[in-house]
Each structure stands twice: as C-alpha cells, then as structure tokens.
Amino acid sequence: MAAIWGYAEPLRVLATREFQVAIKESFHAELKAAIASEPWLEAHYDVGVDYLRGRNGTEFIFRGLRHGVNTIKSLAKIDLTIVEEAEDVPETSWLALEATVFRQPKSELWPIWNPRLDGSPVDLRFRKSPPPNALIAELNWQDNPFFPSGLDTLRVREQQRLDPNTYAHVWEGAYLTNSDSQVFAGKWKVEEFEPTEYWDGPYQGGDFGFSQDPTAAVRCYVVDDILYISHEAGKAQLELDDTPAFLNIGIPGFAQHVTRWDSARPESISHLRRHGLPRSDSVEKWKGSVEDGVAFLRSFRKIIVHPRCTGIAQELRLYSYKVDRLTGDIRPDIVDAWNHYIDALRYAVAPMIKRPGSAAMFLKKRHRT
C-alpha cells in the first residue's frame, strides 16, 4: 500500500519501530520485496542498500524511535508514518512521534501490531479510544489468500499443542492473557474428533440474537465425563424467518434433533416450530440458573471443541468473572459478555443441569440405572 501510494504521489514516508540498530532490522526488506513483486513498481523505485526512492520524488526514511526521537523531531513534511511492532512503543515515543508527523494536511499514521497486553499504549490510543477518523482492521491468517499450506499445518498442530490463550495470541491476534478470572481456564481445548453411535447425544441449544448480538446454536455430545462440541452456527442480525435454513446449512441435520432455546422468547420458539424446526423447545430457568449451568459445564473433566467451532472457542477463552477495580480480587459474578454460544451450550445440556452433582456424578448415576 505504501509503495503504491508513493508511486501515485510524491511522498515522504517515515518507516519506524521502537528499536532499530541497522537497516536490516527495519521495514526496508518488506518494502523491497513488495516493490520487486510488481514490475511497474520495480521500474519506479531506486532500491538501495539503505534507501528507497521513487522517480517522482517519493522517499522512504528509516528510523528507530528509542534512540532516534530527536532526529525524528527534526524531520519535516512527513506524509505517511508506518510504525512496525507498535505494541513495543512506549507512551513517551508516541507523544514525540505524533506531534511531529501530523504537520502535513494529509498526514497519515499506520501503526501495525500483534496485540499482547490489554491496555498497552498503542492499545489505549488506537483500539480502546481510537481517533474519530481512524480506520481499524483486524487481519489474521484466515484473511490471507496466500497463506502457505506448510504454515497452516503448523497452525493446526499448535492449536492442539498450545493452551488456548497462547494459541489465540500467536494466531488469532488476541491479547496474551492467562488469568484466574477466565471461567473455563484449563477446562477446554481444540481437537479433531468424529462422533460415534455410542456417544450420548447429539444435544442442541440455541440463543436468540438481539441487534448486534448473534443468533448462536451448537451441537454437542457427552462421553463419560467429557463434553464434545462438534458444530456451531451463528450470525448477527439474522432474521427469525431465515433462522431455520441458516442453521440447517451450518449444522447438518439440525432440524432432526431436539433444540432447546431461551424460554424468554416463547413467541420465537413457536415460530421456529412452525417454520422448519419442529423439535424446538424451551429451557426451564430459575434463580441462579446461569451460575448452576456454568458450574455444571465446568464439572466436566474436559470440554473438547472441534476446530471448526471458532465462535465458542473464542467465548470459552474470554468468558470471565468480574474483577474488582480497586483490589484486583476476582468476584463470583460473571461478566455479561462473550456468552452467546456458551448460553446455547447451557441450553443444550439443560435437562442434566437440574440433577444434583457434577457431570461425572450424573453420568455414573445414569449408567447404574
């Protein structure tokens, strides 16, 4: 993008990062490769060992922030600033940088980073409280049409080997968090599996969407004291009339099995029964049913999530207890967020939750009878 813009217009482009000892540690190599990939760009640019210049006067300047802030302050007429590995840039560097690079009428700043800390300087500036004219894009391996097959093989292996939080940080652009506040920490993992006729289930549950929240549905199985989640389907702003067809496509044979839904929407459940999902049913709710349901899910020895179920994998990672703002103590109540697929999962196993004891105890009692 920077090379193309510099082809279309004469620009001064500052390519920077927090630490840069030599040009080989800079953005230079990536720009050089991008220019070499297109003959018309290659013909336009003079690519040197430590510089990049366009025939129209475009110039790329490479600087490190930590030891080069003063030299950056002296730079004039910067049209575009690219900050690589912006997660590592401290607040003092941002203060000096922004005051320098926004002097031109059309100046742009492109910070690029893999989120690590929730609340880092770049996170607070451009994600938590972005400028009103900011454009923010989250790009992961799924968005890369040229993603190498060998790298995807590594990704799948890492998904099964790493803990979910580390995998999500490395491959999905998530914050690197391993917190006791996470409700399902240590209780789940992503793994390939294929249900057999001897498994209990399938059990299905659905949660109706509201405005920006998705309508979410899951299918799961129980084997001994392990809960397997095999399928999911979800979409925001899904019209009720379109829900049966959408779920039947997303979860094969969805209409053939009992599906339990939020009892707060009886008119919606009735509509589904009459329009393609005849085995739709409502779940019983009681005071504390959410907490009881979560405790029941946690009582399984392990929750195994099929790799195709990316929505519930994300929620299992992010679903958290509230943390006291002043003391940092973990409170017993749960944050009402990241819970659409989890609510659907609770509804799927709802008839089991009312029984006393854990998942393992319930299964042992049932098998004895």
Integer Cα distance of 240 and 261 in angstroms: 13
Vertex 247, ends 215 and 243: CA angle to 5°?
Answer: 60
CATH of domain 2-137: 3.40.50.300
Looking up tokens 């003079």, which residue turns up?
A: 46
| Shared fold status for 2-137 and 179-368 | no
pTM (2 d.p.): 0.63
Integer Cα distance of 134 and 122 in angstroms: 13
Instruction: Match domain 179-368 to its CATH number in 3.40.640.10, 3.30.420.280, 3.40.50.10090, 3.40.50.1000.
Output: 3.30.420.280
Q: Domain ranges in the chain?
A: 2-137, 179-368
Q: Judge whether 244 and 276 are in contact, CB under 8 Å.
A: yes
pLDDT tens track, the chain, 369 positions: 999 999 999 999 998 888 766 666 577 888 899 999 999 999 999 998 878 999 999 999 888 887 655 666 667 788 999 998 888 888 888 888 887 777 777 889 999 988 877 778 898 899 888 889 899 988 889 899 999 999 999 998 888 877 787 788 888 888 776 567 788 888 898 999 999 999 999 999 999 987 778 999 999 999 989 999 999 999 988 999 999 999 999 999 999 999 999 988 899 999 999 999 999 999 988 888 888 899 999 999 999 999 999 999 989 988 888 877 667 677 888 888 889 999 999 999 999 986 555 555 555 555 544
